[in-house]
Amino acid sequence: MCGIAGIVQSSNRATKPISESVLKEMANTLYHRGPDDEGIYCQNDIGLSHRRLSIIDISNGHQPMHSARGDISIVFNGEIFNYIELREELIKKGHTFLTHSDTEVIIHLYQEYDLDFIEKLNGQFAIGLWDDNNKKFILIRDRVGICPLYYSFENNRLIFASEIKALKPALNNSLYILGPR
């Protein structure tokens, strides 16, 4: 179990900058989900935070994780059961891996298949993925909803997290919270 949280805002609207301290506070509420590591990425209109419970590739699985070029950033909670097979498929297509984590496999799948990468995943997951080249943010979870993912829209911002209480540091008294159905 890990914890993910973040804020994505529209750059063409007047909004205040994303605060690293708010991202840190969001991550702190998820400490019990991932006591092994913490990471924050804050760049322009995207802020991602992660709490990690180290299971796969304990020494190299730090998140948020970035592509080799730095143009794709991801926070991930869950497990991809078929990541070894997917990794082998991607290596045959010319991809080079820096880690043995299932998180990096997701980045390469996105690079290879764009949004169709989701169809290849077998597992339980919640993923926040930022594509800086296309200025596109993807927020998904597994089909059954095993990994929790809550989100809210407020003032041209998408705020998301693995638990509702992690949304609170970023909300400005908004009571409208969407989540699992």
Q: What is the pLDDT of residues 88-127, one digit of tens each?
A: 999 999 999 999 999 999 999 999 999 999 999 999 999 9
Length of the chain, please? 181
Average pLDDT of the segment spanning 53-73: 81
179 found inside a domain: no
Domain assignment present for 178: no
Please check whether residue 66 is in contact with residue 40, taking contact to mean a CB–CB distance below 8 angstroms. Answer: no
Beta bridge mates, 51 = 3, 38
* Total of domains in the chain: 1
What value does the mean pLDDT take over residues 75-99?
A: 96
Average pLDDT over residues 14-29: 87
Q: Cα–Cα distance between 62 and 34 in angstroms, integer?
A: 12
Residues pairing with 38 in the sheet: 51
Instruction: Let me know if residue 175 belongs to a domain.
Output: no
Neighbours of 70 (CB within 10 A): 9
Residues 6+ apart with CB under 8 A from 107: 65, 66, 67, 72, 74, 129
Predicted pLDDT at 54: 66
Domain CATH code at residue 127 = 3.60.20.10
Nearest to 158 by CA among 50, 26, 6: 6
The tokens 């290879």 sit on which residue? 112
pLDDT band at 173 (very low <50, low <70, confident <90, very high): low
36 phi/psi in degrees, rounded to 5: -85, -30
Tell the burial category of 144 from Cβ atoms under 10 Å away from its Cβ (0-12, 13-18, 19+).
exposed
Which structural domain range is residue 38 located in? Answer: 3-170
Among this protein's residues, is 147 annotated catalytic?
Answer: no
Which one from 1, 2, 6, 20 is the annotated catalytic residue? 2
